[in-house]
Structure formats: C-alpha cells, structure tokens
Amino acid sequence: MRALVSTMRAELVGAGGVVERNYYLTKRYIWWDVAWFLWTVANTLTIVFIAKGIEASGGTLDVNTTMTTLLIGAVVWAYLGILFEFLMETVAWERWEGTIEYTFMAPLSRAMHLAGQGVFAILYGLLRATFLFCVCAFLFFNLEMPDAQYFPAFVVLLVASISFIGIGMMMSVLPLISPEKGTQLGFVAQGTLLVVSGVYYPVSVLPEWMQWIAKISPATYALDGIRGAILDGEGLSAMWDDIWPLLVIGVVSVPLGLWVFARGEQYAKKHGKLKRSG
C-alpha cells in the first residue's frame, strides 16, 4: 500500500514537472504567443464580420445572435488549436530540442506525462479562449448576451476537453511517424473535427453521412452546450444531453489515445525516429 502511494505521489510530481516545464517555455516565448494571439483575434474577426456583411448586403438575420454564434465557433476552433498544438508538441518540440530520449527514459508513465501536457494545455487554452472571447465580444462588437450563463459554458468546455485531449494524444504520434510533416497533420484533424460538428452552422445543414460523424464528435456537443449556455441561458441541468455524450466519448478516447501513443512510440523506437536528424 505504501509503495502504491509512493508511486502515485511520484507520478503526480512528474506530471507537475511537465506543467512546470510548459510554464517556463510559455514564459520564455511569451512575445511569440502575443503575436500569435493577435493573429487569432484577426482570424476570429474575419469570421464574425460575416454576419454584418450579410446584413449589409440585404440579408435578414438577427445580427447579434448570429455574431455570437460565429464567435463561439471561432473561439472553440482557437481553443482546440491550442490543445492540439501542445499535445503535438509533446513529441515535436522535444524531438527538436533533443530531449525526447531523455524524457522517454525517465521513470514517469506515459499516461501521466501526457496528462501533465494536457492539464497545462487546458489551463492555458482556457485563459487564451476567455481572453479572445472577451476582446471580440465586448471590445470590438459590444455584443449583447443578456441570458448568458458563463459557468455552465466553462463546465461543458472542460468536460469536452477530456475528449479533445484523448484525440490530441492520438494526433501527437504523427510527428513520431513523420518528423517532417506529422505536426501539420494536426491541423487536418482539427479542421475535420470541427467541420462535421457545426462550427459556424447547425449540424442539420450537413449531408446525412456527416451528421452521423457529428454524433461521435465531442466538438458537436461542446458547441451545442456552450451556445445553449451563452445564447439561451441554459443551466447545467438543461445541458445534460450534451454532457453525458462528452463523458462517454472521453472515457473511450483517452485510453484509446494512450494506446495509439504507445504504439507510435514503439514504432519510432524501432525505426530510429527519436533522434533530431530524423
């Protein structure tokens, strides 16, 4: 029993080490992150302005609601981008710095290693997503959200993050398989996930086969839940229909992500792909 407690303690300290390392790195590269944030704001604005453009060209729509709907889609897109970026970096950045063999040799389980990476990604992603939402909603567009329930929206995003991390773990093996092109494929996964999930439109407008895929995408329930909380003022109890599928997908995707990562790690060791030179 004592040995188990000691092992668990060491594992938690190790996961904390991953969070600590990412904190140091974020601090060192903070101005690059500021520049990247400006790009994210610009990208979000181009999407949200579409609603104003439709109105200006004679279309009839509730501009405030449409802009908020688009903004939520853009913020979730950006959030998912941050999560995937950090998880993809689990391998890519360490490989570039030449630390990956050292890390893989340390007595830290891969599950806790990836959990540490995921926890930092969620914390940093939530911070950035909140900031992005506030800057665009209140600074640029002065959007009105009289019924908004922010706490339930946060809860849905947090629960969805478990599934996102699971999917991110699967994606993070790509740089192990292809050091040159693997990281870019993360964007493909991000785009594919969101396009079927109704990122800027209702899922009902998609072809039927895409709607079937939407049912197993955690982003579908995350977007639906957040929009329900922000636009319709839904509380946690009203959002249960979105939360339970997220929990189920999370329970499946995290172990699956760990399994896929373990296979990728084995492949990389077998093919000598852990070294910087490729």
Partner 1 sequence: MSDVEEEVMKVVPVRREVAVDVRELRKEFRRKDVGRRRGKRTRVALDGVTFTMERGETVAILGQNGSGKSTLLLPDGGSARIFGHDAVSESRAVRRLVNRVSVEASFFKKMSAAENLGYAARYYGMTARQTKDEIPAILGRVGFPADRRNEPMENLSRGMQQKVALARALLTSPVLLLLDEPTTGLDPRSKLEVQEFIREIRSLHDSTILLCTHDLDEAEALAERVGILDRGALLALEPADDLKRRYGCGTLEEAFFAATGRAFEAEEDEDDDREVFA
Residues lying near partner 1 in the complex (CB under 8 A) are found at 7, 9-11, 13-14, 16-18, 20-21, 24-25, 28-29, 97-99, 101-103, 105-109, 269-272, 276
Q: Which is nearer to partner 1, 19 or 155 (CB)?
A: 19
Token reading at 6: 């000691």
Token reading at 82: 């941050």
Our CA angle for 115, 181, 163, nearest 5°, is 30
Nearest approach, Cβ of residue 129 and partner 1 (Å) = 25
Residue 71 has a CB neighbour count (10 Å cut-off) of: 25
Instruction: Give start and end residues of each alpha helix (H) in 172-233.
Output: 174-177, 185-195, 208-215, 218-231
Token reading at 125: 């992603």
d(CA 265, CA 177): 9
Q: Which is nearer to partner 1, 16 or 191 (CB)?
A: 16
Q: 103, 89, 101: which is closest to 183 by C-alpha?
A: 89
Q: Which is nearer to partner 1, 141 or 261 (CB)?
A: 261
C-beta separation of 71 from 137 below 8 A: yes
Nearest approach, Cβ of residue 146 and partner 1 (Å) = 45
3-state secondary structure of 173: coil
3-state secondary structure of 182: coil
Q: Which is nearer to partner 1, 49 or 96 (CB)?
A: 96
Nearest approach, Cβ of residue 107 and partner 1 (Å) = 4
Nearest approach, Cβ of residue 230 and partner 1 (Å) = 37
Q: Which is nearer to partner 1, 227 or 273 (CB)?
A: 273
d(CA 191, CA 211): 16
Nearest approach, Cβ of residue 262 and partner 1 (Å) = 13
Token reading at 197: 């999930």
Dihedral angle of Cα 197, 138, 43, 85, to the nearest 10 degrees: -70
Nearest approach, Cβ of residue 24 and partner 1 (Å) = 5
Nearest approach, Cβ of residue 79 and partner 1 (Å) = 25
Sign of CA dihedral 183, 185, 188, 194: negative
Q: Which is nearer to partner 1, 102 or 259 (CB)?
A: 102
Sequence-ordered strand ranges (E) for 102-242: none
Q: Which is nearer to partner 1, 175 or 228 (CB)?
A: 175
